[in-house]
Amino acid sequence: MFAELISQNGNEVTVQFTVKLTGIMLNDEQSLQQSLNEAGQVAMKPMLEQFDTNGEPVRINGIKHTVRDRLPQTYETPYGPVKVQRNSYQTSKGGRSYVPLEIDGRMVLNSTPRYAQIVSGKYARFGADAICEDLLECNGRNLSRNYAKKLSDFVGSIAGCYESEWDYDLPPLDASVHSISLGLDGTCMLMHKDGWREAMCGSIAFYDKQGERLHTIYCSATPEYGKEKFKAKLSCEIQRVKDKFPDVLYVGLADGAKDNWTFLEKYTKRLLLDFYHAREYISKAASAIFGRDIKGKVAWVDDWSSRLKHKQGSPGRFLKELENRRANLDKKNFIERDEEIRQVITYYKNHKDKMSYSSYLKNNLAIGSGVTEAACKVLIKQRMCISGSRWKDEGASCVLALRSLKLTKGRWQQFWAYTMRHGCTLN
């Protein structure tokens, strides 16, 4: 051992460690890391023991418990495994054991809170194999992939269990909130038995008066029929925001799926179709109208996209343009081209009351659902669609709960503060 406990006075612990220098920088850095880990293990022993009792009887919910046994237990820490003796309690009638060191020390399984925070935070970003490699290279810590998953899944279960109870505060914002955009969308992930299924993602974006985004809350759920679990999660998040900002302008911003509007109209009457989806349909119509005339197609798309974005009443005028173009189609591939234009006409008729882009731009309000689409990518695709990944619902739910906390600024730290306050038990 290169580290030893020198003294322990009250709540102060002094540890001494030695580093052997070889004259090769990389070797010396690795030696320092090893010595730091050993010093950490030495310091962790009294740190853990401070949460144990002296063996006296204790009362839990008014019921007397006495020591059943005092046995050694190994706990995982950021510096390595540490073995300590700890008391285990039971009532005179037996039943569930109570270990003060683990309860009061807020142990997560047999891991210290900090180690659980490190491992689960990494698991939110990448797979178990990558975590093991990263911890060994950066921290000199050996970790099995099974334990990395088990520990992270447990932390994710805690996050999911209390997500409707623990109210997270917003981080400090650089300006006053002028508008809040609500959005939801889906993207596919590979499930273990069901193949590719649609997972849902929601975003609540806060904007200042100039239209600059101040903060975003992310929400997600694994694939499900009916999307009720996801809708309940997003509804809870939206209601909390509306309670804090009752007088702010809310905008429901999404693509053309009818189910999106059914959900969003419960929270705002200001519904806006994502501008870039509307523009895609202009391009679709142009392909049917102009065929191989690329120059004519590009000019027509740019012209109508600009009108739609900046001129009031453009959706109605565009519909008249489509009807005229459809009436004057030549006979070449008439049926296919006529059907494509008809589909665009139907789309615009269904959504023209949600295309007031010019007035939104004048008020510095968002007109694109890029925040939600980006959330689908960073929240779901980047982690859940790693090559070779296939998910069971329980494991996927844990990872998405972790990622939502990590990607929503300020929540990861608040989650661990709640955990330290309330403990690491599941309802």
Of residues 385 and 423, more confidently modeled: 385
152-185 pLDDT, tens digit per residue, is 999 999 999 998 889 999 999 999 999 999 999 9
358-396 pLDDT, tens digit per residue, is 999 999 999 999 999 999 999 999 999 998 889 999 999
CA 259 – CA 345 distance, rounded (Å): 20
CA 285 – CA 344 distance, rounded (Å): 6
**Nearest residue to 79 (alpha-carbon basis) of 114, 52, 55, 54:** 114
Q: What is the structure's pLDDT at 319?
A: 96
Cβ contacts of residue 16 below 8 Å, gap of 6+?
3, 4, 6, 39
Task: Assess contact for 384 and 189: CB atoms under 8 A.
Answer: yes
DSSP state for residue 380 in the 8-state scheme = I
Q: What is the structure's pLDDT at 427?
A: 57
Cβ contacts of residue 143 below 8 Å, gap of 6+?
119, 131, 132, 135, 136
CA 315 – CA 307 distance, rounded (Å): 9
Residue type, 33: Q
The fraction of the chain above a pLDDT of 70, given in percent, is 99
What SS3 string covers 160-203?
HHHCCCCCCCCCCCCCCCCEEEEEEEEEEEEECCCEEEEEEEEE
Q: What is the structure's pLDDT at 215?
A: 97
Structural domains in the chain, sorted by start: 179-274+368-409 (3.30.420), 276-359 (no CATH)
Q: Which has the minimum average pLDDT: 213-217, 257-261, 423-427?
A: 423-427
What's the pTM value of the predicted model, to 2 decimals? Answer: 0.90
Quote the mean pLDDT of the chain: 94
280-307 pLDDT, tens digit per residue, is 999 999 999 998 889 999 999 999 999 9
Number of H helices and E strands in the chain, helices first, is 16, 11
Cβ contacts of residue 372 below 8 Å, gap of 6+?
183, 184, 185, 201, 202, 203, 253, 254
403-415 pLDDT, tens digit per residue, is 999 999 999 999 9
Residue type, 164: S
The DSSP element (H or E) to which 372 belongs, if any, is helix 370-375
Residue type, 214: L
CA 11 – CA 50 distance, rounded (Å): 9
Question: Could you identify the residue written with the tokens 């565009």?
Answer: 318
Cβ atoms within 10 Å, residue 349:
13
3-state SS class at 107? coil
Count Cα neighbours of 381 within 13 Å in the Cβ-side half-sphere.
11
Phi and psi dihedrals of 173, rounded to 5?
Answer: -105, 150
> Does pLDDT of 112 surpass 90?
yes
Q: What is the structure's pLDDT at 426?
A: 66
Q: What is the structure's pLDDT at 423?
A: 81
The fraction of the chain above a pLDDT of 90, given in percent, is 88
CA 148 – CA 142 distance, rounded (Å): 11
43-80 pLDDT, tens digit per residue, is 999 999 999 999 999 999 899 999 999 999 999 999 99
**Nearest residue to 199 (alpha-carbon basis) of 408, 386, 389, 384:** 384
Residues across the chain: 427
Cβ atoms within 10 Å, residue 287:
14
Task: Assess contact for 384 and 400: CB atoms under 8 A.
Answer: yes
> Does pLDDT of 193 surpass 90?
no
